[in-house]
Structure 1
Amino acid sequence: MPDAAEAIGVSERTLQRAVQRTIGTSPIRFVQDLRIERACHLLRTTDMSVETISRKVGYEHPRTLRSLLRDRTGKTTSELRGGDRR
């Protein structure tokens, strides 16, 4: 956000408010939602490990992804995969 705000010549807070007003959610939540959507897709369609998927969607630690998935979907990574794949 700081780089984006600087690039368009506004404060970070002004940019955050504009994003919130435009898309109806905070910039952080928006990015998290995109990452979670991609992670769910990868869990359903690949055999990649959760560690690999976590890195691919932008999380250094798989526990962060697991926690967000559980909070947002109510499911574990195994459940999102279909239960029989790792």
Structure 2
Amino acid sequence: VNDEHPLVLVSLVRAGLPIGVLLQRALSDTDSSYHLPSVHYGISIIRDRGLDPVALQMLLEAYPNSPIVFVDGWTGKGAIY
């Protein structure tokens, strides 16, 4: 992970968005031991359909060599795949 290949945080919109914002804030603090070059996005997720494939493709094309971490704050029964 570096400035050319930042960590890509992808929040699942709704429950994951606030957690992703907090993670991004912690990672961007240059005085913190958690500092890491990163970017943050929110992605739509639709029940019984999954993640937005166009948004996923955009992220893969924009950050081909960056690690991608999905962030969710929901602990439901797994209705979304």
Query: Normalised by the size of structure 1, how large is the TM-score?
Result: 0.28
User: Which has more strand, going by share of residues?
Assistant: 2
Q: Whose RCO is larger (CA < 8 A, sep 6+)?
A: 2
Please, what TM-score do these two structures have when normalized by structure 2? 0.29
Q: Which has the higher helix share?
A: 1
